[in-house]
Amino acid sequence: MKLLAPANLKELPDRARWFKKPAARRLAQKFGVDYGFELKEPLEDLKEAPSLSSACYWGVHLPNSFATEWYYHPEIRERLLSQLLPISKLKPHYAVFHGIHLLWQPPERKYVQRYENISSPEEHLKVIKDNVELLKRLKEIFPTLKIENFPLCNHYMEGEDYLPYTYLYTGAGRFLDLLYFKQKSKVNILLDLEHLLITINFLNRRQNYAKIPVKKVQKLSEQEKKLYQIYGFYIQKGLIPYAEPINLAKVLKKFQARFYHLSGSTQEIKNGKISSHGPIKKDDPVFRKHLRMILKQKPEVLVLETASSGYLKAWGYLRPNETEISFENLCEILLEEL
């Protein structure tokens, strides 16, 4: 198994130091865990593969909006794809990207309406079809491409600060459609645990989504039936999506993913904020429970996704070295759980 640290190019030398920490050394010695990086934006200055002797394994995360830009701007599609060729020539062990996002943002104060689906079945099916096309094109550039799930809700932002409101954020790669994409394109899945938990909480109206009402569908059209089969939840225009009770362990088993993003957030509202990319704590029983479910899937790669205070203003409440502390805590937890 490999444990990766998130990093941009400037952070590489310091983050390589983490792999020499006592807990990381014991994890490598006892269980043969290797270390490496998942490189994040900006990627423009990536001219050579990471050559640090302590980390020979690395992946690259394509820009979050790459697929969305490709979808909405057909006139620049070939240019967008050609910009990835220099990175592919460096032969990363994998590349990962988010699916197409349907762009809309309702007014913040419209409580229930923030979560109503505004898109027709035809628009959803078009996004799914076009995302399959993009997957096939990207796989030609990155043979070991992965598609990552994105939460079904997104945060409003004010500058660089998250507001304590979310809204429905539909598109490709939201839930079980990942399995559809894998079948159609032979591209494997990278599961972000936090993103998955947000989606399940919303569809099952748990935690911070418990007060959102469920209005059940009365009748599905043929296209809506197809969407239900692909997405794994009910979605109609003007309806707030929902699902029958979802069991996380069964979902993880269904996906059978080998790559995971991990952070410590359980999506509780704290101090008026919805936590995101939160720290991993050794005494968090919920995180350990979820990690055990993932370890049962025999993962190949675990990627730390905890933020630090310097990332964005939204994470100013975290410590400057929160990511480093979470990495060390994750090593300690794995020593106990493996």
3-state secondary structure of 280: coil
Nearest to 133 by CA among 104, 100, 91, 102: 100
3-state secondary structure of 81: helix
CB 87 within 8 A of CB 49: no
CB 203 within 8 A of CB 233: yes
CB 164 within 8 A of CB 115: no
Residues in the chain: 338
Instruction: Give the integer Cα–Cα distance in Å for 94 and 257.
Output: 14
- The model's pTM is 0.94
* DSSP one-letter string for 193-246: HHHHHHHHHHHTT-GGGTTS-----S---HHHHHHHHHHSSB--TTS--B-S--
223 Cβ contact list (under 8 Å, min separation 6): 121, 122, 125
Token pair in block for residue 58: 């690395």
3-state secondary structure of 84: coil
- pLDDT recorded at residue 105: 83
180 Cβ contact list (under 8 Å, min separation 6): 128, 230
Element (H, E) at 157: strand 153-158
Q: Sketch out the chain's domains with CATH numbers.
A: 2-337 (3.20.20.150)
pLDDT averaged over 10-residue windows placed end to end, the chain, 338 residues: 94 92 97 95 85 76 96 97 96 97 83 90 98 98 98 84 84 98 98 94 90 93 98 97 96 97 69 67 93 97 87 73 95 98
- pLDDT recorded at residue 42: 84
- pLDDT recorded at residue 265: 64
Q: Which residues on adjacent β-strands are paired with residue 167?
A: 154
Q: Is the dihedral of CA 150, 153, 159, 161 positive or negative?
A: negative
One-letter identity of residue 226: K
Q: Which residues on adjacent β-strands are paired with residue 161?
A: 158
Token pair in block for residue 310: 């310097």
- pLDDT recorded at residue 272: 46
Torsion of Cα atoms, 241 then 246 then 248 then 250, to 10°? -130
CB 152 within 8 A of CB 168: yes
